Amino acid sequence: MAETSQTAPDSGTEAIAAEKAAPGCHKVHPILVASNVTREFGGLKAVDVEHVEIPRGAITALIGPNGAGKTTLFNLLTGFDNPNTGAWEFDGTDLAGVPAHKVSRLGEVRTFQLTKVLGRMTVLESMKLGARHQTGEHFWAALFPFIWRSQEKANEKRALELLDRFGLLAKKDDFAGSMSGGQRKLLEMARALMCNPQLVMLDEPMAGVNPALKQSLLGHIVGLKDSGVTVLFVEHDMHMVHTIADWVIVMAEGRVVAEGTPDVVMEDPAVVDAYLGSNKDRDLGDVINGIRSSRKRKVDVSDIDIQRDEEVLDAQQEAVEAAQELGESGDSQAVVDDAADAVATDDKGKDKA
């Protein structure tokens, strides 16, 4: 664990940390506690986190240079990837080895750095799919149309409420693929809320979003906290981090290298010199693009993210179509077979992810 110099904790630190702010410090009310989490890719330790705790009820920003391991850590903590070592608890429940669909059912949901165009689905269908997936409805539940239909009604009501809240109600019958990048980011956030999560993890929610929508997204993130939801987000825009984060965790080369309130961490000379440079007041996205173009990367992680999303989403679509067929035809055996196939494909997609 790299040590960074910390100035005296301010009052914000006292409310969140149970001890002096430092990498891996204990929190007063942690919602997520992870220890010795490592993930290697061909000899490279993408994640090497000795200990980290995410404070409950607060907005925590996870920052650090590109390739620091932020997305990989998200993937591990949400069951989209398996670690080489490590254990973590979400709200007191041991989550190591628990697959993504069960993690989201327990109240921990995430969004992806790159949103996938849900070409074949309308905005409303995509929202309902969020609930279906998140609540972990089993294919056999579709055998009893009365259960399925009342659940559908409740899901639709919640979906419409959330679309309204995110200013997307007028778009409910549009294909999700026809929306702008920013609107898709909003849709993704709204979709994540379909299952009433306790912790929402947002991977670069502002990437590719125009300034007007950024403002709206910012408002929604603060709104989440106001409604009691814990937020952990990855962001390169240092101005945004400073504006809304209660706590900042800095990662570099797979490790947590600094933690504290934005005022302390982002003014810490060691952090600024090593990770933020003279650009601490700028949008770090620009800086990163510079680094990216000057560095040859063997693996384009963007492609991997898109592929993974495609596999999972295609399988979800199949499951929904199978269940819909049952509602219409009542031919149980054929639909059970289809649904079982769809679920099997879904799990396969997750294993690969």
Ligand X SMILES: Nc1ncnc2c1ncn2[C@@H]1O[C@H](COP(=O)(O)OP(=O)(O)O)[C@@H](O)[C@H]1O
Phi, psi of 258 (to 5 degrees): -160, 155
Q: How far is the CB of 239 from Mg ion (least distance, A)?
A: 19
User: What residue ranges bind Mg ion (CB under 5 A)?
Assistant: 70-71, 113
Query: Is residue 291 involved in binding ligand X (CB under 6 A)?
Result: no
DSSP helix/strand/coil, 226: helix
Rounded-to-integer distance, Cα 105 and Cα 192, Å: 11
Query: Is residue 70 involved in binding ligand X (CB under 6 A)?
Result: yes
Query: CA triplet 95, 98, 103: central angle to 5 degrees?
Result: 75
Query: Is residue 33 involved in binding ligand X (CB under 6 A)?
Result: no
**Whose Cβ is closer to ligand X: residue 66's or residue 216's?**
66
Q: How far is the CB of 193 from ligand X (least distance, A)?
A: 23
DSSP state of 14: H
Q: Say how many CA atoms lie within 13 Å of 47 toward its Cβ.
A: 24
CB-based closest residue to Mg ion: 71
Of 35, 66, 84, 345, the residue at the interface with ligand X (CB under 6 A) is 66
Rounded-to-integer distance, Cα 10 and Cα 14, Å: 7
Rounded-to-integer distance, Cα 8 and Cα 254, Å: 26
Q: How far is the CB of 60 from Mg ion (least distance, A)?
A: 16
Of 299, 327, 329, 348, the residue at the interface with ligand X (CB under 6 A) is 299
**Segment near ligand X (CB under 6 A), from 25-33, 67-75, 146-154, 309-317?**
67-75
The residues facing 248 across adjacent strands are: 61, 260
Query: Is residue 78 involved in binding ligand X (CB under 6 A)?
Result: no
Side-by-side strand order, sheet with 199-203: 108-110, 199-203, 230-234, 59-63, 247-252, 255-260
DSSP state of 270: H
**Segment near ligand X (CB under 6 A), from 40-48, 94-102, 128-136, 266-274?**
40-48
**Whose Cβ is closer to ligand X: residue 194's or residue 257's?**
257
From ligand X, Mg ion, none, interface partner of 69 (C-beta below 5 to 8 A by class): ligand X
Q: How far is the CB of 234 from ligand X (least distance, A)?
A: 7
Q: Which token pair is 76?
A: 């591990």
Footprint of ligand X on this chain (CB under 6 A)?
Answer: 41, 44, 46, 64, 66-72, 299, 301, 304
